[in-house]
Amino acid sequence: MAKTGQLHLIPVGLSDADPAGWLPPLVRQTAARLTTYIAENAKTARAFLKQIGTDHAIQDITIHTLGRRTSTTEIRQWLQPLKVGEHIGLVSEAGCPAVADPGAVVVGLAHQLGYQVVPHVGPSSILMGLMASGLNGQQFVFHGYAPVEPQARAQQLKSWETQSRKLNQTQILIETPYRNEAMFRTLTGSLHGHTRLCVARAVTGQDEWIMTQSVQAWQSGRPPKLARIPTLFLYLAD
C-alpha cells in the first residue's frame, strides 16, 4: 500500500513582521516545499509564500480558494492527491488555520477520509493575547463575535461576565476592526468596574499594544486607538 500524504496546517503572519519572529525554521521548510495549498484567500496565500521563499516557482504552486460556498464534494477532490502520497498545505488569511476561520471543514474532511493532519507552530492572536493578558489561562472561552445590535450586545457581554464570575473563566472576543472603538466603549460602559479588561492590539505587529486593567481604570483614562487595527478583547470578572 502506498503511503498517503499529510494535510499540513501552516500558520501565516498576523502582521508584516519578519517571519523569523513567528515561524520556526522547520515549519518554513515544510511550507516552502509544498506544491498544493488550500487557502482562504489566494492572494494573501501567494504573498505569504513569497515572504517565506518557496522551493518552486509560485506560479507552479496550485492554490485552491476556500469560500463560504465551496462544496464538500469540491474539497474532497482537492484532497485527492493525499491518496497518492502528495502533501497539501492549509493556510488562513492570518494566524493559525482552522481557528477563528472557516478551515475546520477541510480538516474535518481529512479526518473523515482517514488522512493524517499535522498542525504546525505559528502565531495566534487568541493564544498570544491570552498569554499576555494575565487573566485566567486555566479556563477560558473564545466566543468569536458578539451580536451587533447595541442592546443585544450589551446584554450578551454582561451575560458572559456573569459566566466569567461563576466559572472563573476568561472571556475572549473579536470585532470587525472598524468597530473596535465602539466595542471598547460598550465593554467599558456595560461591564462591572472591578472586572479586568485586556485590550490586545496588533499582536506581533509594529503597533502591538497589550494592556490589562480594571474597567474602572479604563473609564478614567483616554480610550486607546483601535480603529481598523486587529484587536482582541479579553475579560475576567472579579
Choose one: 52-60, 96-104, 152-160, 219-227; the region binding a copy of itself (CB under 8 A). Answer: 96-104
Number of CB atoms found within 10 A of residue 42's CB: 14
CB 11 within 8 A of CB 52: no
Number of CB atoms found within 10 A of residue 9's CB: 23
96 belongs to the binding site for a copy of itself (CB under 8 A): yes
How many residues does the structure list for the chain?
Answer: 238
Choose one: 38-46, 107-115, 151-159, 187-195; the region binding a copy of itself (CB under 8 A). Answer: 107-115
Which amino acid is present at 87?
Answer: H
Q: E strand or H helix at 150, and its extent?
A: helix 150-167
User: Which of 195, 193, 206, 207 has the alpha carbon at shortest distance from 233?
Assistant: 195
User: Which of 170, 175, 108 has the alpha carbon at shortest distance from 134?
Assistant: 170
Residue 57 or 132: the one with the smaller Cβ distance to a copy of itself is 132
* 27 Ramachandran zone, left/alpha/beta (phi>0; psi -120 to 50): alpha
Which amino acid is present at 211?
Answer: M
β-bridge pairing 196-201 and 231-236? antiparallel
Kindly identify the residues of this chain, within the stretch 47-76, that bind a copy of itself according to CB under 8 A: none
- Residue 60 in grid coordinates: 507552479
Residue 57 or 105: the one with the smaller Cβ distance to a copy of itself is 105
Q: Of 100, 157, 191, 202, which lies in the binding site for a copy of itself, with binding defined by CB under 8 A?
A: 100
What does the alpha-carbon distance between residue 235 and residue 199 come to, in Å, rounded to a whole number? 9
Choose one: 81-89, 108-116, 146-154, 222-230; the region binding a copy of itself (CB under 8 A). Answer: 108-116
Q: Of 5, 19, 89, 230, which lies in the binding site for a copy of itself, with binding defined by CB under 8 A?
A: 19
Choose one: 45-53, 123-131, 151-159, 177-185; the region binding a copy of itself (CB under 8 A). Answer: 123-131
Choose one: 40-48, 49-57, 78-86, 134-142; the region binding a copy of itself (CB under 8 A). Answer: 134-142
Residue 130 or 226: the one with the smaller Cβ distance to a copy of itself is 130
3-state secondary structure of 29: helix
41 belongs to the binding site for a copy of itself (CB under 8 A): no
The least distance separating a copy of itself from the CB of residue 57, rounded to whole angstroms, comes to 26
113 belongs to the binding site for a copy of itself (CB under 8 A): no
99 belongs to the binding site for a copy of itself (CB under 8 A): yes
Chain residues that interact with a copy of itself, rule: CB under 8 A: 9, 18-27, 96-112, 116-124, 126-144, 169, 196, 198, 203-204, 208, 210-213
